[in-house]
Amino acid sequence: MKLFTGNANRALAEKVAGYLGLPLGESLVQRFPDGEVRLQLGESVRGNDVYVIQPTAPPVNDNLMELLVYADALRRSSAGRINAVVPYFGYARQDKQSVGREPISAKLVADLIERAGYDRIITIDLHAPQIQGFFNIPVDHLRAVRLFAEYVEREGLKDDAVVVSPDAGRAEEARRLSNLLGLPMAMLAKRRTGPTETEVTYVIGDVADKKPLIVDDIVSTGGTIRRGVDALVEAGAKPQALVMATHPVLVGPARSNLSHIGIERVVFTDTIALDSKDGYTILSTAPLLAQAVRAVHTHQSVSALI
């Protein structure tokens, strides 16, 4: 088994390699003067079971291209099996046509990954679970909800708390967390007013005098979270929200929105590398990914990790 990584999140790849007791494979991932990706493997991979750890995080297109050229280089170098470990799957929010005459980009990216030569993909918290069906290769879809549950238990944050889903799409993950913690659940009803804008219309469930534990997959601009906290406080919830999200994309006014007076703390995982933590708590997904890689390599079940 060999592990390789691009430039998207080398720190996470090194942690995964550490848990597996393996060094990262030698490779050169650079840019030509015109911005094209240059990749050269520094060691033989002939017949090996190879895992490329590369989230397609911002800059999404650059990191996606690194992932694709890795597959081509490995295939041409006679690797035995080529596996993509993509902790954050970019383009996942474009999983359907919201209006006419637009692409389903998540399907296109799935096709690109498959055609490039990957035999399997391991990922965490897809924005739309049905994206698994866009692939004709095995997809191991891991979830970070257990990491959040363990954090809440460890920090003693269960008292007078309620798990909140920011929308109907994340209700299943919120239900998982509420079951793990033995807490009630509520949900925010929202409607989309633009490609990146939403409006929270009302709160479903009893949140009065409770501390909201908001669980989401992606925080991009943070606008939905800010408006959700406003709606929860108006419904009687305590202004002490705990925001937990798997993928900290954090663009535009995200950090400003997350500094909302009603948010007590923010917890992310390390699927996307952050230049500045800004006081956020970061939970590592490296143990989870390492267990999944080991299970796949030894032909064991991955279901126990989900």
Please tell me the predicted confidence (pLDDT) of residue 205: 95
CA–CA dist 155, 306 (Å, integer): 23
Domain 2-143+286-305 shares a fold with domain 145-283:
yes
Residue 191, token pair as written in the block:
């409607």
Q: 220: Cβ–Cβ under 8 A, 6 or more apart, which residues?
A: 196, 249, 250, 251, 252, 254
For the chain, the domains span 2-143+286-305, 145-283
The predicted model gives 163-189 an average pLDDT of 95
- CA–CA distance from 22 to each of 1, 233, 285, 292 (Å)? 9, 48, 17, 15
CATH number for 145-283 (one of 3.40.710.10, 3.40.50.2020, 3.10.580.10, 3.40.50.880): it is 3.40.50.2020
Q: What are 8-26's pLDDT values in tens digits? A: 999 999 999 999 999 999 9
- Check pLDDT > 80 for residue 131: yes
CA–CA dist 145, 151 (Å, integer): 10
pLDDT band at 192, cuts 50/70/90? Answer: low
CA–CA dist 259, 76 (Å, integer): 49
Q: What are 135-174's pLDDT values in tens digits? A: 999 999 999 999 999 999 999 999 999 999 999 889 999 9
- Check pLDDT > 80 for residue 128: yes
Please tell me the predicted confidence (pLDDT) of residue 3: 98
Please tell me the predicted confidence (pLDDT) of residue 277: 81
- Residue 245: which of 227, 221, 261 has the closest Cα? 221
CA–CA dist 55, 303 (Å, integer): 22
Please tell me the predicted confidence (pLDDT) of residue 52: 98
CA–CA dist 114, 247 (Å, integer): 23
CA–CA dist 131, 123 (Å, integer): 11
DSSP structural state of residue 46: B
* Burial state string for 216-243 with b = 16 or more CB within 10 A and e = fewer than 16: bbbbbbbbbbbbbbebbbebebbebbbb
Single out the catalytic residue among 190, 210, 211, 238: 190
CATH number for 2-143+286-305 (one of 3.40.50.2020, 3.40.50.920, 3.40.50.300, 3.30.70.1350): it is 3.40.50.2020
**Is residue 27 within a helix (H) or strand (E), and if so which, with residue range?**
strand 27-31
pLDDT band at 306, cuts 50/70/90? Answer: confident
Active-site residue, 210 included: no
Gyration radius (Cα) of the chain, Å: 20
- CA–CA distance from 58 to each of 220, 244, 250, 275 (Å)? 11, 20, 10, 12
Predicted TM-score of the model (pTM) = 0.95
Sheet holding 263-269, edge to edge: 198-204, 185-192, 161-165, 211-219, 241-248, 263-269, 281-283
Return mean pLDDT, the chain: 95
